[in-house]
Amino acid sequence: MKELLQLFLIFAKIGGFTFGGGLAMLPILEREVVQKRKWASEEEMMDYYAIGQCTPGIIAVNTATFIGNKRKGILGGIVATLGVVTPSVIIISLIAAFIQNFQDVQWVQWAFSGIRPTVIALILNATIKITKKSLVDVWTVLLALAVFFLSAFTNITPALFVLGAGVLGIFLKGGNPRAAAA
Amino acid sequence: MPLLLELFLRFFYVGLFSVGGGLATLPFLQKMGEATGWFSATQLSDMVAVSESTPGPLGINMATYVGFQTAGVPGAILAVLGEIAPALVIIFILSRFLLKFRNSKYVAWAFYGLRAASAGLIAMSCMSVAVLALFDKAALLDGGTFFSALNYWGIVLTAVIFVGLRIFKKVHPIVFIAIGAAAGIGFHLLIGG
């Protein structure tokens, strides 16, 4: 019961401080879930993120479901997911009810002109931390670079990169006895 | 069909078929607006602006907004529940599958490649978020130079916060977000704009 409440509260905290898309939750997720509570490893976070890219639904929500489910089964998954969406439901309902032109409020705009660069620094820092353990050899570095440039210059859906990389991983490891042993 | 049930079902459909994050729900919402008359295209673009400048996952914020505008608080709750329900079920099934095949070498090999792709995708998203915030594309298209389109103040703040993150590793990310918000308000008060 205590851990369920903890799951709800921590994911509510993550939902309440994610500014700008699923990736923005990475810094707080990394701090709260990986570092502080060791509920998941860096590698597992990458797995969840990869799976979230090619399954339906919102990546932040999918990650919450995965971690909640890992800790406390289906009930944990539901509780963590409800936690991550609760702040949104409350905040957006309040704004929709009381503030007509929220994005025209001047000090909100000012605050966001500072929050946006901050979130970039946070995401960059979290990206460095979390991707380090996934780039284990020359092949993975090359593969990551290829995905980086292909997704920058083409409109291929991320799901295809993830699935393709999975198949490639099997061939790289399976087709190479030395690598497979490592 | 009762309005609340319709909201739930329509968002269930969005949740089931939008792959790849909150913005992927946008085309579905456009169609929903046209089909139901619940909101106009202009209202939708307002929703995106509000969703982007409030905390929380974008897709969830948009579902809340549409649900609330259509049927108040119960509408907001049912729209969100509808949107997350398909993902919940799919992730439960996948988790079970992963647990079962955890020791398979094929799954391990697939994840060896998957993680690398994930790293590339995360780096790319990081880059596009940075370009969006620190570079004014519209100014460049308006005939400005590359250098005049750069958000210098934003770049300096990003650099300062990044250095701060590397030095004060124990400080919680939320503290940095609060510092960033304060710096943004302070900066505009100082320059008077």
Q: Is residue A55 part of a domain?
A: yes
Shortest Cα–Cα distance, A4 to chain B (Å): 17
Q: B61 — contact with chain A (CB < 8 Å)?
A: yes
| Residue A182, pLDDT above cutoff 50 | no
**H or E stretch covering A142:** helix A138-153
Please report the pLDDT score of residue A102 as a whole number: 66
With an 8 Å Cβ cutoff, are B134 and A28 in contact?
Answer: no
Q: Is residue A13 part of a domain?
A: yes
- In 3D, which of B88, B26, B37 has the Cα closest to residue B59? B26
Q: Is residue A82 part of a domain?
A: yes
Please report the pLDDT score of residue A125 as a whole number: 87
Q: Chain A residues with CB inside 8 Å of B54's CB?
A: 19, 88, 91-92, 95, 102
ipTM of this predicted complex? 0.78
Q: Is residue A93 part of a domain?
A: yes
With an 8 Å Cβ cutoff, are A89 and B161 in contact?
Answer: no
* Residues of chain B where predicted confidence (pLDDT) is lower than 70: 19-23, 192-193
Please report the sign of the dihedral spanned by the C-alpha atoms of residue B160, residue B162, residue B166, residue B169.
Answer: positive
CA separation for the pair B188, A182 (Å, rounded): 55
3-class state of residue A130 by DSSP: helix
Report the residue from B91, B106, B115 with minimal CB separation from A43. B115
Q: Is residue A6 part of a domain?
A: yes
pLDDT in tens, A113-130: 888 888 889 888 888 877
Please report the pLDDT score of residue A90 as a whole number: 93
Q: B184 — contact with chain A (CB < 8 Å)?
A: yes
Question: Tokens at residue A17, please?
Answer: 């401080």
Q: Is residue A126 part of a domain?
A: no
Q: Chain B residues with CB inside 8 Å of A131's CB?
A: 118-119, 122-123
> How many contacts (CB atoms, under 8 Å) link A and B?
376
Count of all residues that appear for chain B in the document: 193
- In 3D, which of A94, A76, A71, A75 has the Cα closest to residue A16? A94
Local confidence band at A6 (pLDDT 50, 70, 90 cut-offs): very high
Containing structural domain, residue A59? 2-101
Comparing B81 with A109, the larger pLDDT belongs to B81
With an 8 Å Cβ cutoff, are B59 and A61 in contact?
Answer: yes
3-class state of residue B54 by DSSP: coil
3-class state of residue B150 by DSSP: strand
Report the residue from B20, B22, B119 with minimal CB separation from A158. B20
Q: Is residue A9 part of a domain?
A: yes
- Is A4 buried (19+), middle (13-18) or exposed (0-12) by CB count in 10 A? middle
Domain tally, chain A = 1
Q: Is residue A43 part of a domain?
A: yes
CA separation for the pair B96, A141 (Å, rounded): 30
